[in-house]
């Protein structure tokens, strides 16, 4: 430890960003706090890995022919374990307290069977300093249910310990970590079309194949941790180790994750460690009975309460809070095979002011000072270090709006250790434009600045819209674009109105430029890939407890004569394009043109050249586009293609040959600082990606096409119901469980043709 501490005087982050050295004292303080906490855990608990196995020690566990229950409740004066197993009478099941405030009891098996049966209700019954006895759900409970037939019924803790024959056994390994995550954000409960809560198994069987067919490589699941208030979107967690019982059992969730892995999809979980539900009877807050903060999960007074969220805030300096939260991460990762997490509310954790009424300008003094919550940062450093040690290929995403530097640099460099942050300014820009600006007043430079304004030494996930943009009071991008005409104008059996034409065109452009230019990964919320209309509104008193806006209308995209299929097809194709060319993981990103008059943006990302024409009505013939390498370019993806609901104005069989521009190596003599150029046709409200043809493989490609008698097209489309794919002139069976009507796009490269 002494050697490491001596080396913190020059952290690697200072080499990445010399401006950080001004805050050397801050970084030294927090890295030493981290190292000190880590060493204390190693000394007293045997290391982080052992410390994070708390779920095997706390809560109810079976050990050597007995049931052992432990609970941290230092404020309790007496305690008992009660439940259906003892007719709710704890007189014979009194617990003992140690010097750390941990209560425990050991109950021997009866006739070789656990005294507390599987799937039976239990509670922690204790007397606090005020003299009153109260009942609470065990903090480490793994399942909690309520009586759905009774309005406002409280949750009951349920002991979950199924016999071996009923336990789900994972069959499939974790898929490898992709270079760039293409994330499908989903809420299981609202994933069905019927006005009801959908289940884990229904999601696995009906929705996961859709996600795979659309060429995503990662699923992010919301609202998995138990939350008594459904409309909280899962963010007011009551039981941190319990699977949300509305959608099924822990074994059902394991089936979902395993099914995703079988389809090659990694699974991330929305984890909420930034705050906890304010509920007393069924939440962790019930353990706060007026004691001091050192004996509580939460801070006391104003520091322990989030006034905007009406929720409790953790005391991350407490030993047992660290055990609880770190073990929580490991539990979900080990027991359910999650491949990583999206940490919710990180901005609230980073600062004592929680980001409330705070605007961040980018001044480093806003990030590294007395407002910074070092306790929370140390917890996140420990968490990220632990997760990457347990699973080196884990993907950990931070939801942070502040833009704190080095949030996404490794812990051993002096960073907080996340892999990605969400690019949260991007959807705000699109919503502002769609609500407040005419198309002709859209600024190309402002769009580019929003998409590219990020720290390039830290990775981020770009998205045009998530669940946040469509909750009640707002609308999806498609509905902002087309509004009421989506009810009457989406039939392909009639000509599209100007509003529908504009809406579908901009829906495709907005999502594609966000993916291509906005970050190192991409995220889409469930249903937005096909332009889901309206908004999200969970059942509540204000809407007469209706599920009408709390579901996904898959029939819209499955109905062949509706135009939703075009937006879905484009989503499939742009994901397939990224899969083939890996442009999101490329460090090459060059914007060569932001033409405010023409309303055109041209840029290179990886090996592709992108041309976006946002002009409402101007077609540009022979539009000059700068590029890096000389050669021949062809269309890789065209939003105006007929299969995407476009007008088919761009020729896909056209070869675009480059011309040299200026003097080699002298950018100021080049065209838009690019050494080569080629000319294209650019219709209004279209986006086209071009790839450079590999001349060495061209003859082989043509020969292969002629020999097979197949027509060479850039995309292969098949009916997903046929369970066949066609690729490179070869036809074969693919058992991918698509099972849904629609088009499936797989980009076919020249390399694949050679094979």
The most distant pair of C-alpha atoms in the chain lies apart, rounded to whole Å, by 91
Instruction: Find the catalytic residue in 156, 252, 288, 399.
Output: 399
What pairing do the DSSP bridges indicate for beta strands 305-306 and 276-277? unpaired
**Long-range contacts for 505-509 (Cβ within 8 Å, ≥24 apart)?**
505/639, 505/646, 505/685, 505/686, 506/481, 506/685, 507/477, 507/478, 507/481, 507/531, 507/567, 508/567, 508/570, 508/639, 508/644, 508/687, 509/612, 509/614, 509/639, 509/685, 509/686, 509/687
Instruction: Find the catalytic residue in 252, 344, 400, 714.
Output: 344
Residue bearing tokens 């009408």: 548
CA separation (Å) from 359 to 356, 368, 403, 449, 451?
9, 15, 11, 19, 19
Residue bearing tokens 């509580």: 296
N-terminal to C-terminal alpha carbon distance within the chain: 54
What pairing do the DSSP bridges indicate for beta strands 715-719 and 686-692? unpaired
As given in the structure block, the two tokens for residue 714 are 């850039």
Residue bearing tokens 């332009």: 531
As given in the structure block, the two tokens for residue 154 are 């409280």
**Given phi > 0 = left and psi -120 to 50 = alpha, else beta, which region is 268?**
beta
Spell out a b/e string for 576-605, using b for 16 or more CB atoms within 10 Å of the CB, else e: bbbbbbebbebeebebbbbbeebbbbbbbb
As given in the structure block, the two tokens for residue 656 are 């675009």
Is position 282 annotated as part of the catalytic site? no
DSSP 22-63: GGHHHHHHHHHHHHHHHHHHHHHHSSHHHHTTGGGTSEEEEE
Is position 399 annotated as part of the catalytic site? yes
Q: How far apart are CA 275 and CA 298, in angstroms?
A: 9
DSSP 567-618: HHHHHHHHHHHHHHH--TT-S-EEEEEEETTTTEEEEEETTEEEEEE--SS-
Q: How far apart are CA 358 and CA 351, in angstroms?
A: 10
Rg (CA), the chain: 28
Active site residues: 344, 399
């Amino acid at each position: 430890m002494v050697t490491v501490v001596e080396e913190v005087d020059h952290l690697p982050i200072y080499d990445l960003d010399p401006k950080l050295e001004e805050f050397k004292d801050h970084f030294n303080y927090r890295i030493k706090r981290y190292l000190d906490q880590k060493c204390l855990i190693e000394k007293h608990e045997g290391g982080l890995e052992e410390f994070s196995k708390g779920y095997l020690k706390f809560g109810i566990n079976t050990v050597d022919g007995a049931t052992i229950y432990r609970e941290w409740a230092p404020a309790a004066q007496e305690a008992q374990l009660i439940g259906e197993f003892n007719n709710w009478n704890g007189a014979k099941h009194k617990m003992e307290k140690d010097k750390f405030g941990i209560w425990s009891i050991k109950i021997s098996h009866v006739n070789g069977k656990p005294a507390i049966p599987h799937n039976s209700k239990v509670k922690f019954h204790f007397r606090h300093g005020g003299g009153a006895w109260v009942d609470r759900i065990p903090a480490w409970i793994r399942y909690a249910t309520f009586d759905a037939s009774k309005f406002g019924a409280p949750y009951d803790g349920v002991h979950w310990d199924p016999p071996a024959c009923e336990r789900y056994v994972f069959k499939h390994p974790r898929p490898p970590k992709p270079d760039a995550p293409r994330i499908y954000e989903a809420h299981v409960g609202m994933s069905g079309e019927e006005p009801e809560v959908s289940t884990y198994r229904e999601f696995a069987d009906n929705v996961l194949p859709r996600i795979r067919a659309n060429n995503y490589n990662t699923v992010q699941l919301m609202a998995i941790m138990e939350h008594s208030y459904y409309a909280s979107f899962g963010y007011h967690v009551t039981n941190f180790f319990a699977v949300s019982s509305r959608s099924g059992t822990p074994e059902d969730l394991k089936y979902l994750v395993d099914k995703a892995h079988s389809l090659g999809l990694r699974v991330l979980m929305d984890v909420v460690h930034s705050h906890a539900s304010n509920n007393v009877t069924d939440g962790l807050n019930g353990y706060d009975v007026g004691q001091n903060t050192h004996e509580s999960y939460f801070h006391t007074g104003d520091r322990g309460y989030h006034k905007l969220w009406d929720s409790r805030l953790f005391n991350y300096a407490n030993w047992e809070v660290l055990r609880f939260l770190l073990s929580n991460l490991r539990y979900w990762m080990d027991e359910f095979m999650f491949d990583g997490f999206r940490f919710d509310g990180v901005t609230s954790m980073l600062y004592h002011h929680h980001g409330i009424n705070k605007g961040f300008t980018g001044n480093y003094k806003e990030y590294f000072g007395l407002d910074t919550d070092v306790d929370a940062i140390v917890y996140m450093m420990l968490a990220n270090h632990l997760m990457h040690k347990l699973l080196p290929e884990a993907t950990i995403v931070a939801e942070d709006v502040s833009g704190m530097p080095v949030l996404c640099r490794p812990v051993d460099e002096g960073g907080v250790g996340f892999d990605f942050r969400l690019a949260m300014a991007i959807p705000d820009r699109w919503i502002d434009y769609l609500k407040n600006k005419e198309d002709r007043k859209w600024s190309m430079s402002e769009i580019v600045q929003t998409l590219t304004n990020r720290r390039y030494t830290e990775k981020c996930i770009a998205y045009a819209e998530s669940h946040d943009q469509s909750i009640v009071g707002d609308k999806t991008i498609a509905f902002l674009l087309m509004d009421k005409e989506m009810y009457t104008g989406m039939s392909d059996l009639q000509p599209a109105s100007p509003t529908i034409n504009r809406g579908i065109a901009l829906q495709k452009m907005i999502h594609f430029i966000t993916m291509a230019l906005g970050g190192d990964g991409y995220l889409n919320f469930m249903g937005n890939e096909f332009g889901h209309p309206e908004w999200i509104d969970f059942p509540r008193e204000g809407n007469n407890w209706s599920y009408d806006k709390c579901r996904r209308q898959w029939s819209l995209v499955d109905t062949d004569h509706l135009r939703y299929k075009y937006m879905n097809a484009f989503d499939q194709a742009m994901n397939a394009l990224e899969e083939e060319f890996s442009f999101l993981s490329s460090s090459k990103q060059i914007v060569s043109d932001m033409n405010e008059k023409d309303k055109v943006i041209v840029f290179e990302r990886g090996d592709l050249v992108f041309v976006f024409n946002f002009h409402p009505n101007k077609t540009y013939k022979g539009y000059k586009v700068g590029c890096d390498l000389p050669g021949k370019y062809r269309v890789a993806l065209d939003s105006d293609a007929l299969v995407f609901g476009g007008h088919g104005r761009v020729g896909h069989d056209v070869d675009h040959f480059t011309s040299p521009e200026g003097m080699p190596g002298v950018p100021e003599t080049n065209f838009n600082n690019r050494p080569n150029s080629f000319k294209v046709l650019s219709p209004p409200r279209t986006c086209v990606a071009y790839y450079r043809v590999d001349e060495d493989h061209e003859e082989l490609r043509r020969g292969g096409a002629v020999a097979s008698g197949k027509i060479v097209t850039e995309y292969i489309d098949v009916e997903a119901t046929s369970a066949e794919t066609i690729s490179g002139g070869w036809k074969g069976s693919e058992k991918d469980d698509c099972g849904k009507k629609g088009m499936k796009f797989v980009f076919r490269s020249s390399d694949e043709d050679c094979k």
